[in-house]
Structure 1
Amino acid sequence: MPGVEVTVEGLSKSFGRANIWSDVTLSLPPGEVSVLLGPSGTGKSVFLKSLIGLLKPEKGSIVIHDTDLVRCNESKLYELRKLFGVLFQDGALFGSMNLYDNIAFPLREHTKKSESQIRDIVMEKMDMVGLKGDEMKLPGEISGGMRKRAGLARALVLDPEIILFDEPDSGLDPVRTAYLNQLILDLNAQTDSTFLIVTHDINTAQTVPDNIGMLYRKHLAMFGPREVLLTSDDPVVSQFLNGRRQGPIGMSEEKDTAQAAREMAEVDELDGLPPIKPQLTATGGLPERKAVARRQKRVRDMLHTLPPAAQEAIRRSFEENSAPQARAQAVGAAPYSRPDDPTRALPRISPDDDPTTQLPRVR
């Protein structure tokens, strides 16, 4: 069974007189990877905190398993939070605890499992993210990328049905970001949980998610399957996803009307839509991601409602990605895992690999 659906309806949040966003409505499809984008300061992290009940919106609803998190009592909210795993921007590890104890913390806090059971779970999750052998290290003794992976392992120990990622790529170089993106998709293939990622990385937004949403000027500009947004003619969505200067978004989010009009005229001179980048696939040996077929069916059902240029680009993308060579090209390198069971997950990293980064050396 896929992860649970999260239905957000008419959500509004303010701090005093400062409105963060209003009337946000979307549904996170069960078992799929969704990305939330937007210029800095548009309230993306606030949205994540609202989803798990750390912040209380003034209006709207967040429904999971027929329960509204905005209006339920504290005991019910406490139980529903166990459905979530959260990877915070900096990992949010306890500095005085080693990695093993950091990752074991949710199990000791929320379950009655024995220490031997906890050890089995912790070691499995550390192995999944490539941290086996680093159990006794303190957060201050490891790199930022390793801290993020430790935070991800901790988010996984309760086998959550919904996993939230708050800018997992912040502070990482492009290579580590690529490895982390592959790891996220591989985890989705293994768990079929519902993922929501907040990111600024355009390559991540173009190649990782099944669905893309964008916050802009205190509203949700658009949310839907990746193919629909990557071919959208909405000026805000198109500008952001293509990383262009030309468009309505300026340095301070809002841009002078005359300047925006001049830049949009430049955009209009460009010919056609850019090609849709292929989506990453799970590493060879892992289950095929069930989310892909579910998303593609939704896209085909709504294809006739899209502009002709978008329809053509999406059809071409489906045809290219269905070819065996395209699928092989889209498969990224196995990121971190070194399983003892070769039938379970990812290829083992050889002893010649650099133990300080857990990444294979270039030969």
Structure 2
Amino acid sequence: MTGVEVKVEGLSKSFGRANIWSDVTLTLPPGEVSVLLGPSGTGKSVFLKSLIGLLKPEKGSIVIHDTDLVRCSESKLYELRKLFGVLFQDGALFGSMNLFDNIAFPLREHTKRSEAQVRDVVMEKMDLVGLKGDENKLPGEISGGMRKRAGLARALVLDPEIILFDEPDSGLDPVRTAYLNQLIIDLNAQTDSTFLIVTHDINTAQTVPDNIGMLYRKQLAMFGPREVLLTSDDPVVAQFLNGRRQGPIGMSEEKDTAQAAREMAEVTELDGLPPLKPQLEAAAGLPDRKAVHRRRERVMRMLPTLPPAAQAAIRQSYTDRRGAASQHGSSEPSWPLSSYELSETALRGRHGHTTAAPPGTRLR
């Protein structure tokens, strides 16, 4: 499996007179893990359903392999859907089927493989998600976390290029959520598929993805590399990603402007910019995630355009990561990455002054 780019341009969706979101534009980079956040009711699950053609947007395009899913024929859409694997909130398992038959269902429905071949694939995916030996159990006989993993195994059996996760951590305790997050990272390391996760879990958003997007007030507030959003001074993004009460978001979507301004002044005085949480790494013995290398190259090109505090926080996080990797004997690449060396021009800020180069930077 290799991930594919998903390019969304000017997407708008309504139900009758109720507009869900408008003019959503983003690109899911191939092979990277992206997270979509937003307050409840902002249409995150609607966005996932639009991506796979279950809902038809009124405007815009969703381009995969040079084909627009919004305007293509039904037969073409049917074929493109085979590129997707979907993990639904509750696993969406058939209650009358055991786990083996649930996971085998897409193979029997969409392929002509023999039962021996089906068994090989199903057992491989069950082993991958830690369910080997549980194939004869019914969904009602297992825990919520196991149902999530069974749903994930089913999403993987057709070797999809794009995997969508609709609130995979809903209903799970923090320990099971941590295990699931690690599983997502490990799967990405092994498959290099494109992942999109809808979640409300702040720890997941801070530690799992390569990219973060946020829906707010019927718009896409921001989308980009994790380092950029985690150091953003945008009031909405900063409030949500830090789980603060203070900010523009209120219990009923939006606060009074004057109240939000008072609260933001209070946050600025007391808190400042929090340090970046380290991103989860693939388990020992698995290949390095290619997505990390691609994302960091992109961040380095963007760095001079970011506010000074964000630049400093990003440099510090990379320096800390490299130091931790050296201490543990990891193969973590030097910073910046060998495939992208910062030139003296790239280190210049918007006002023409040269910022301090991070340790190990080679100037050309």
TM-score, L = length of structure 1: 0.89
In structure 2, the residue matched to 1:53 is 53
Give 5+ residue unaligned stretches, structure 1.
331-363
Task: Tell me, in whole angstroms, the C-alpha distance in 1 between the residues paired with 2:326 and 2:76.
Answer: 46
Change (3 A) 1:325 1:294: closer
Task: Tell me, in whole angstroms, the C-alpha distance in 2 between the residues paired with 1:289 and 1:4.
Answer: 15
CA root-mean-square deviation: 1.4
Q: Aligned AA for 1:308? A: P
Q: Is the 8 A contact 1:272 1:309 kept in 2?
A: no
Q: Does 1:162 align with 2:162?
A: yes
**Cα distance, 1:139 vs structure 2:** 0.6
Task: Tell me, in whole angstroms, the C-alpha distance in 2 between the residues paired with 1:109 and 1:316.
Answer: 50
Q: Aligned AA for 1:300? A: M
**Cα distance, 1:64 vs structure 2:** 0.1
In structure 2, the residue matched to 1:302 is 302
Q: Deviation string for 1:141-189 (max 9, x for gaps)?
A: 1111110000000000000000000000000000000000000000000
Change (3 A) 1:87 1:308: same
Q: Aligned AA for 1:27? A: T
Change (3 A) 1:329 1:270: farther
Instruction: Find the residue that maps to 2:164 and give its secondary structure.
Output: strand
In structure 2, the residue matched to 1:344 is none
Give 5+ residue unaligned stretches, structure 2.
331-364
Task: Tell me, in whole angstroms, the C-alpha distance in 2 between the residues paired with 1:328 and 1:21.
Answer: 46
Change (3 A) 1:142 1:271: closer
In structure 1, the residue matched to 2:180 is 180
Q: Is the 8 A contact 1:321 1:327 kept in 2?
A: no
In structure 1, the residue matched to 2:125 is 125
In structure 1, the residue matched to 2:235 is 235
Instruction: Find the residue that maps to 1:232 and give its secondary structure.
Output: coil
Q: Is the 8 A contact 1:320 1:326 kept in 2?
A: no
Task: Tell me, in whole angstroms, the C-alpha distance in 1 between the residues paired with 2:261 and 2:29.
Answer: 36
Q: Aligned AA for 1:93? A: L
Change (3 A) 1:270 1:2: farther
Instruction: Find the residue that maps to 1:269 and give its secondary structure.
Output: helix
Q: Aligned AA for 1:141? A: E
Task: Tell me, in whole angstroms, the C-alpha distance in 1 between the residues paired with 2:328 and 2:262.
Answer: 42
Q: Is the 8 A contact 1:106 1:157 kept in 2?
A: yes
Instruction: Find the residue that maps to 2:270 and give its secondary structure.
Output: coil
**Cα distance, 1:194 vs structure 2:** 0.1
In structure 1, the residue matched to 2:356 is none
In structure 1, the residue matched to 2:73 is 73
Q: Aligned AA for 2:43? A: G
Q: Is the 8 A contact 1:4 1:30 kept in 2?
A: yes
In structure 1, the residue matched to 2:251 is 251
**Cα distance, 1:257 vs structure 2:** 1.7
Which of 267-276 and 115-124 deviates more? Answer: 267-276
**Cα distance, 1:323 vs structure 2:** 2.0
Task: Tell me, in whole angstroms, the C-alpha distance in 1 between the residues paired with 2:180 and 2:123.
Answer: 19
**Cα distance, 1:264 vs structure 2:** 1.0
